Structure 1
Amino acid sequence: MKNDDRETVEQYLTSWLAQKKRTLKPLTHYSYSEYVNKRIIPSLGNHRLQQLRHEDLVQFVTDLEEEGRGVPTIKRILAVLRSALGDAERTKRLSHNPAEHVHPGRVERTEIQPWTAQQAVAFLDHVTGAPPWQVDPLANLFETIIGTGLRRGEALALQWSDINVETRTMYVHRAVSDVGGKLIVGTTKTSGSTAGVGLSLRVVRALERQRQQQQQDRAKWGEGYDDQDLVFAREDGAMLRPERVLKRFRTLSTEAGLPTCRLHDLRHLAATLMLTNGVPLALVSKTLRHSQVSITADLYGHLTPEAAHAAADALGAALDVAAAEAQSERSARNKTTSRPHQPV
Structure 2
Amino acid sequence: MRGSVFKRCQCRDGNGKRIKNCRKPHGSWCFVVDAGTDPATGKRKQIPRSGFKTKAEAEEALTAELAKLNAGTWTDDKGITVAAWLEQWLAELVAAKRAVKTVTNYRTHVRDCWNPQLGHMLLRDVRRGHIERVLANLAAPLDGDRPTGNIGRRIAQRAPATVESYRKTIRAALAAAQRRELIGANPALGRMDSIPRPDADGDDEPVMWEPEDTARYLEHVLGDRLSALYELAAYAGLRRAELCGLRWSDIDSDGTPGLTVRLTNVSVTRKEVTAEQARCPICGAEHVGVLLKPPKSRAGRRWVPLAVPALAALDRHRADQQIERDLFGVDYDDHDLVFCRPDGTPLRADRVTVEFEKHVRACGLPIIRLHDTRHGACSLMLAGGVPIEVVQLILGHASPDITRRVYKHLMRKETARQVEKATKLLTRHRPKQKAP
Alignment TM-score, normalising by the size of structure 1 = 0.83
Q: Pick one of 158, 161, 164 that aligns with 1:69.
A: 158
Cα offset, 1:87, TM superposition: 1.7
Q: Pick one of 329, 354, 357 that aligns with 1:250.
A: 357
Residues of 2 paired with 1:231 and 1:156: CA distance? 8
Deviates more, 1:268-277 or 1:94-103: 94-103
Partner of residue 14, structure 1? 87
Matched position secondary structure for 1:271: helix
Please give the residue correspondences for 1:1-344 in structure 2 after superposition, counting only pairs within 5 Å.
3=76, 6-23=79-96, 24-66=98-140, 67=142, 68-101=157-190, 103=192, 104-108=195-199, 110-128=204-222, 135-164=223-252, 166-180=255-269, 182-305=289-412, 306-307=414-415, 310=418
Matched position secondary structure for 1:193: coil
Structure 1: unaligned runs, 5 residues or longer: 129-134, 318-344
Cα offset, 1:51, TM superposition: 1.4
- One-letter amino acid of the counterpart of residue 366, structure 2: P
- One-letter amino acid of the counterpart of residue 352, structure 2: V
Residues of 1 paired with 2:300 and 2:180: CA distance? 35
- One-letter amino acid of the counterpart of residue 84, structure 2: Q
**CA deviation digits over 1:11-31, x for unaligned, max 9?**
110011111212212222222
Cα offset, 1:312, TM superposition: 11
- One-letter amino acid of the counterpart of residue 57, structure 1: I
Matched position secondary structure for 1:100: coil
* Alpha carbons 1:5, 1:50 under 8 Å: kept: no
* Alpha carbons 2:252, 2:258 under 8 Å: kept: yes
Residues of 2 paired with 1:244 and 1:213: CA distance? 20
Residues of 1 paired with 2:190 and 2:391: CA distance? 36
Going from structure 1 to structure 2, the CA distance change for 1:64 and 1:136 (only over 3 Å counts) comes to same
* Alpha carbons 1:61, 1:74 under 8 Å: kept: yes
The structure whose residues are more often helix, as a share, is 1
Going from structure 1 to structure 2, the CA distance change for 1:205 and 1:6 (only over 3 Å counts) comes to same
**CA deviation digits over 1:126-169, x for unaligned, max 9?**
111xxxxxx11221110111110000000100000000252211
Structure 2: unaligned runs, 5 residues or longer: 1-37, 39-44, 46-75, 143-156, 271-288, 426-436
Residues of 2 paired with 1:284 and 1:15: CA distance? 40
- One-letter amino acid of the counterpart of residue 207, structure 2: Q
**CA deviation digits over 1:95-146, x for unaligned, max 9?**
2212124522213582123211100111111111xxxxxx112211101111
Matched position secondary structure for 2:267: strand
* Alpha carbons 1:218, 1:236 under 8 Å: kept: yes
Matched position secondary structure for 1:141: helix
- One-letter amino acid of the counterpart of residue 125, structure 1: E
* Alpha carbons 1:141, 1:232 under 8 Å: kept: yes
Residues of 2 paired with 1:49 and 1:271: CA distance? 45
Residues of 1 paired with 2:347 and 2:329: CA distance? 19
Going from structure 1 to structure 2, the CA distance change for 1:313 and 1:199 (only over 3 Å counts) comes to closer
Going from structure 1 to structure 2, the CA distance change for 1:38 and 1:258 (only over 3 Å counts) comes to same
CA RMSD of the aligned region, Å? 2.4
Relative contact order (alpha carbons < 8 A, sep ≥ 6): 1 or 2 greater? 1
Residues of 1 paired with 2:100 and 2:264: CA distance? 12
Aligned positions, number: 310
* Alpha carbons 2:231, 2:313 under 8 Å: kept: yes
- One-letter amino acid of the counterpart of residue 172, structure 1: V
* Alpha carbons 1:5, 1:49 under 8 Å: kept: no
- One-letter amino acid of the counterpart of residue 11, structure 1: A
- One-letter amino acid of the counterpart of residue 20, structure 1: L
Give 1 or 2 for the bigger CA radius of gyration.
2
Residues of 1 paired with 2:338 and 2:205: CA distance? 33
Cα offset, 1:298, TM superposition: 1.9
Going from structure 1 to structure 2, the CA distance change for 1:312 and 1:245 (only over 3 Å counts) comes to same
* Alpha carbons 1:153, 1:242 under 8 Å: kept: yes
Cα offset, 1:249, TM superposition: 0.6
- One-letter amino acid of the counterpart of residue 174, structure 2: L
Matched position secondary structure for 1:106: coil
Going from structure 1 to structure 2, the CA distance change for 1:54 and 1:291 (only over 3 Å counts) comes to closer
